[in-house]
């Protein structure tokens, strides 16, 4: 029995290894000590497939070539990891620490997961024993308020809302004022998805900011731009625009439970000097975890 089990385990292990190699050819390449031109090209292609973008990949490849020139054997995985972690460690995210009422604003293009993330974040803060209030700032998309209410119930937190088509800046104001009056430490404000190229919609975010500041001058204390991990190079212009108009302070990368690696955050972080606060790994209430650079890089490199 024992022997058979052991054999079976070994067999399964072997199978998994083969599977990994087949499914993730990058593993094979990263395990080599030297790469020839073809292998370098192949590796470059695989890195590009993680949405890192041409420039970042060029730099990564330059580092590998440099190391190969300098020494006999190299460790491609370590070199790439080092290079990527340098960028990801550059600006660590500040933890959320409760104190006086703080306003968190969630922004981003349509469908990236703002409302879901807000629900998860509310549940997370609530689970720490801290008071949370959520504000239905998306008064535009059909049933957006109902969706947020469902999340309010799920997270066990009160929802501030007005009717569809209402002024998002006004409801944001109400939410902040009510939380301040009740000394609730966290106010989470959902906003409607909007493309960063629509000036009039982007201006609305500025208006929300300003009306929050009438209640609490230092608000919003954090502005999270939610980014879908499947996003390609357009993520860069998204982040640039939202940072400029809405004063984004952190990114939240969602849908990392899919097959996309979210590599576009690397050029974004590098360019805009933003941290990643959390990542979304599913649709459940617990599927939000603090960003872990090491794990993220392992994901990028197909580990």
Ligand X SMILES: Nc1nc2c(ncn2[C@@H]2O[C@H](COP(=O)(O)OP(=O)(O)OP(=O)(O)O)[C@@H](O)[C@H]2O)c(=O)[nH]1
Tell me which residues touch ligand X (CB under 6 A). 108, 110-116, 138, 141, 144, 192-193, 254-255, 257-258, 280-283, 287
**Nearest approach, Cβ of 150 to other proteins (angstroms)?**
3
Distance CA 266, CA 89 (A): 11
Total residues belonging to the chain = 303
- Residue 202 touches which member of Mg ion, ligand X, other proteins, none, C-beta under 5-8 Å by kind: none
DSSP single-letter state for residue 256: T
- Give CA–CA dist 287/298, Å, rounded: 19
* Distance in Å, CB of 190 to ligand X, minimum: 7
Q: Which of residues 277-296 bind other proteins (CB under 8 A)?
A: 283
**Side-by-side strand order, sheet with 250-254:** 159-160, 132-135, 186-189, 102-107, 222-228, 250-254, 276-280, 288-290
Choice from 97, 142, 183, 217 touching other proteins (CB under 8 A): 142
Q: Which does 142 bind (CB under 5 to 8 A by kind): other proteins, Mg ion, ligand X, none?
A: other proteins
* Cα–Cα distance measured from residue 236 to residue 56, given in angstroms and rounded to the nearest whole number: 13
For the bound state, the minimum distance from the C-beta of residue 114 to Mg ion, rounded and expressed in Å, comes to 5
- Output the CA–CA distances (angstroms, integers) from residue 74 to 34, 47, 225, in the order listed: 6, 18, 38
Q: Residue 264 touches which of other proteins, ligand X, Mg ion, none (CB < 5 to 8 A by kind)?
A: other proteins
Do the beta carbons of residue 105 and residue 222 sit within 8 Å? Answer: yes
Binding site residues, other proteins, CB under 8 A: 45, 48-51, 53-54, 109-113, 140-144, 146-147, 149-151, 154, 195-199, 228-238, 255, 257-261, 263-264, 283
């Amino acid at each position: 029995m024992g022997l058979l089990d052991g054999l079976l385990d070994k067999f399964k292990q072997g199978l998994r290894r083969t599977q990994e190699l087949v499914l993730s050819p990058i593993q094979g390449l990263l395990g080599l000590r030297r790469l020839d031109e073809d292998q370098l090209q192949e590796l470059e292609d695989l890195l590009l497939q993680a949405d890192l973008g041409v420039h970042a990949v060029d730099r990564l490849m330059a580092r590998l070539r440099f190391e190969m020139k300098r020494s006999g054997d190299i460790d491609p995985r370590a070199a790439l990891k080092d290079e990527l972690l340098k960028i990801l460690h550059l600006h660590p995210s500040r933890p959320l620490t409760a104190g006086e009422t703080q306003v968190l604003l969630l922004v981003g293009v349509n469908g990236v997961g703002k409302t879901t993330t807000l629900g998860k974040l509310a549940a997370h803060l609530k689970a720490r024993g801290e008071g949370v209030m959520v504000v239905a700032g998306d008064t535009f998309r059909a049933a957006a308020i109902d969706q947020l209410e469902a999340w309010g119930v799920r997270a066990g937190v009160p929802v501030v809302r007005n009717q569809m088509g209402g002024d998002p800046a006004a409801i944001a104001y109400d939410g902040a004022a009510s939380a301040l009056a009740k000394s609730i430490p966290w106010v989470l404000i959902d906003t409607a998805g909007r493309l960063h190229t629509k000036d009039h919609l982007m201006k609305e975010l500025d208006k929300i900011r300003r009306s929050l500041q009438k209640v609490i001058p230092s608000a919003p204390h954090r502005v999270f731009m939610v980014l879908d991990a499947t996003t390609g190079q357009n993520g860069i212009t998204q982040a640039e625009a939202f940072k400029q108009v809405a004063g984004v302070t952190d990114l939240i990368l969602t849908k990392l439970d899919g097959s996309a690696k979210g590599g576009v955050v690397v050029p974004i972080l590098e360019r805009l000097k933003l941290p990643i606060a959390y990542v979304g790994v599913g649709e459940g209430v617990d599927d939000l975890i603090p960003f872990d650079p090491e794990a993220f890089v392992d994901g990028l490199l197909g580990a």
